[in-house]
Structure 1
Amino acid sequence: MPQAPNGYARPSVDQVEEPGTTTGTTPSTVADTPVPARRPPAGSAPDRPAVSTRRDAFFDNAKFLAIVLVAVAHAWEPVMAGSRATKALYLLVYAFHMPAFIVISGYFSRRFTAAPGQLRRLLTTIVVPYVVFEVAYSLFKRYADDSPGHPISLLDPWYLTWFLAALFIWRLTTPLWLTLRHPLAVALVVAALASLTPSIGEDLGLQRVLQFAPYFVVGLCLRPEHFQLVRRREVRLLALPVLAGAAAFAYWAATHMRTAWLYHDNSAQELDSPGWVGPVMTFALFGCSLLLTAAFLSWVPGRRTWFTALGAGTICGYLLHGFVIKGAVYAGLFDDHAWPTTPLGRVVVTVAAAVAVTALCTAPVRRLLRPVTEPEMKWAFRRTG
């Protein structure tokens, strides 16, 4: 993406959808907040709302820190066996990293009305990357893992691509959610019912779509003042005992709870539990995840930092880091060597994952991937207006 002196030249796939614009957000989940622009001179024609495209450092920082946690948690999966502490950290991070992404995605989807321009952006910045990376990951699995029978199916998202399919569905249903009197209550009921319905199947990752939907709806219901509230000093101080308590609980849960509950991709019956446990876990995890998301956001810097500009490239970090981690797994790095499962080895794996995803969020990678993550595709659409 062409760089301006401040690192941003034009609205990217990560930018907010503002009134009167046709931009959209991607699974990197959004980056900009509306910054009031100067009012037009008196007597001038108010063509459209005056909105600055200046990015809000808080949301760029939150996106970058969240994508680092995503990559680190994925890197812990092959090395956490035998380490209760590592599994506890894994459970703690998994409880809020995707909910945080989804809440922010919902917040920046409030302006989605399915206008022609918005639909074009939806197709080019979500559907196109989904198709490309679903095929790419499937081929990678087939040949790098010596799994010739692994299918290539656009209806069955594999590994990371489920979020693209889910965001597409959530975004399309945004006008419906916003017409409801109590959208969050409805979303929670739908999620609870999904958790006890094994017949939903795996098409487009619908279990995750339905079970994670409440977080998206929470984002739709939020306003700027809510984010200001969570960033107050007293909230930051309260976040410390919350995180400490959550870490202690995660340490206990590491030997008592199945991690699959945090993936939200199975019903209770598929996890060998009675059906009624599904709704109970849905509500319990929802409350826990929102609390941890608020604690996480309270400590996100609101000022520009060295990693603020990297927040615009989280779509690349998200979509590419899976190749790095799965590549290491397929290469036998964790099976053929004992050192990654030592305490020092786990630290090295953690740092390596954080450094790798940071590099994948940089401007050169974004420019290289732009034809896939934000293609213009003018040839595919009718001219409007």
Structure 2
Amino acid sequence: MSRSSPATTHTDLPEFPMSRQCPYHPPAGYEELRKEGPLTRARLYDGRPAWVVTGYAETRRLLVDRRLSSDRTRPDFPVLVPRMAAAKLVALVGMDPPEHDVQRRMLIPSFTVKRVNELRPAIRRIVVERIEALLADGRREADLVPEFALPVPSTVICELLGVPYGDHEFFEEQTRRMLLATSTAEDAAAASAALTGYFDELIGAKAAAPGAGLLDDLIAERLVPGELTRDELSSIAMFLLVAGHETTANMIGLSILTLLEHPEQLARLRADEGAAPAAVEELLRFLSVADELQRVAAADIEIGGEVIREGEAVYLPNAAANRSSEAFTDPDTFDLGRGTLHHLAFGYGVHQCIGQNLARAELEIALYELATRIPELRLTEEIGRLGVKPGGSVQGILRLPVGW
């Protein structure tokens, strides 16, 4: 009997999302789901059943299947945690083609490999400045989450967009209120409104006095000719700012922790800057911080011996796919020499992360510079005391106290 049978009661299903026990390993419940098959059922916080896809091949197939919708304005779109219904991150990630494709084409030129390579000297400058600040005045300890992992990508995305970095405390706090799984719907709605208002004012100011940055370019090239409305541009800017610093900040912090916990792998990175790109790919696969990709079926889909019915919720946790033995040998082993090229940390298909080239560059530079400029770096507290972000949010740690 299919697990989609009406005989299955929702109260018997495991709860989803699931939380990690170890910061750099997927929830133990993913392996339990995998034992049931590549697709199985779980229960969301409001009692709604949802498909959870743990098979690597099935995840790739579904991520390019146009019968799965990303449109967050659909009334049947699933809500993973209460605040998701209130957080208005609908640009790009919350849209379907053709609207999605129009916006993506506008932004792609700013995130190509060529453009990101032009930004590498600026990224390195930002990273080195942060490391020098850590070392100033003979300091021997720091919390690398607020003092390194967060300000590096926050500064980079501000410079790229043309957003004043002096406002970073405001938008970082609003981002936390929007994305933290434990935030209430009211908190997320208030944070979303605050950010929307901020960008509306900033767009008005830039329209009157243009500066340098992607936001200025979009005002001149898209807003003024009428290709984008002001509301649409505000939504795009908010999405780029939030996504551009939140996921990379968590990835930097968790990558540093993982390397410190695997000193032999850290030594490989420190010994050869040329190893940084491969190291980053393995870290992306191993950590999968942007987990729990969500969709809703716009039509029936047969896959993996099951039938996903129209209107049913579908979750594709890439942390499960990236630890699949069908795609990766010894997938739970962290190995910088693995040569990983086909992980799903950035998604797959039309919604593959538009900022992946920028994120790779930031990670390569940040991790190599930190490893070589502070070679004595060590964790000063037990890993169990660092705090792990709960399921339903970008995965990461709350603190990263280190000494040298």
Q: Using structure 2 for the length normalisation, give the TM-score.
A: 0.25
Question: Of Structure 1 and Structure 2, which has the larger fraction of its residues in strand?
Answer: 2
Q: Using structure 1 for the length normalisation, give the TM-score.
A: 0.26
Question: Of Structure 1 and Structure 2, which has the larger fraction of its residues in helix?
Answer: 1
